[in-house]
Structure 1
Amino acid sequence: MIIRPGIIRPEIQERYGHGRSERTIENWTKHPDWPAPVGRRGRWHEYPLEAVEAWIAKHAPTEESTPAGKPTDLLTVQEIAAHSGRGESTIRGYISRGRWPAADKEENGVKLWFRSTVDRALAGLRPYRPREGRSSE
């Protein structure tokens, strides 16, 4: 067995993607705080696994890393994004297209949703999966 010193972008997508697009993962690697590459594997930069895990925990937490909280907790769009593992722009898109429930409350112009409302809305969404065999023609 070959022990690899790091992780490449397709492996990051597989391990941490959680419904996120390949473009999102690519954008992560362009973030100023993203770990520096430790080498290459084929055409991909290879990044230190521990540093990637630390970056993701800080900048892109998944549902598994977000505390469950109480059903009556009020969440902002940013908190919904962190809770769901989706991007803020994705959540805002759901709202603008009518694919998200109305806010449960509004305080000082900030829309808020109960965690229970968010969980019900997320359960009704299908996960993002790129289509197989799509060509760019």
Structure 2
Amino acid sequence: MNYLNRSISDLENWEWDGQVPSEDDSTYVEFTYYYLAKKKLKNYTVTDIDFYIVQNTGLRFLIPLAMDILKSDLFIEADNYPGDLLKNVLRASKKYWQHHPTQKKTMEDLFVSNEQLFKSLDITKEIRDEITKAFEEFIDPRSA
């Protein structure tokens, strides 16, 4: 992945338009979006990757990074609870997954092969239901 030494704004060829946000005068999302846009991908944390995936930004660069992480730990906690990165990857843009069927199949196989582990995760019923629903909608977008 030769793009790891570049930032999302460089890879996506865009610049921030408007006043540069600061922690004091902007929302968390706005400030984080700006801050991460300049950061090299090789320096991203799981939380950073998760943040941009939720924003549906840079998916062609970040989904492969997330998938590498998920292959090692499918239920890794990005920010809130075990499995949140997985849930957010599954909920990424439907259009992205339509254009990347091999990656979609890999994600499907990863989840199915770890179903027993998923059932034994120490998470609430609500979280388990959210992840299950995300997977069902991932497999069949019409079920959304």
TM above 0.5, yes or no, is no
Identify, as 1 or 2, the structure richer in helix: 2
Tell which structure's C-alpha radius of gyration is larger: 1
Which has the larger strand fraction?
1
Q: Give the TM-score normalised by the residue count of structure 2.
A: 0.27
> Relative contact order (C-alpha < 8 Å, sep 6+): which is higher?
1
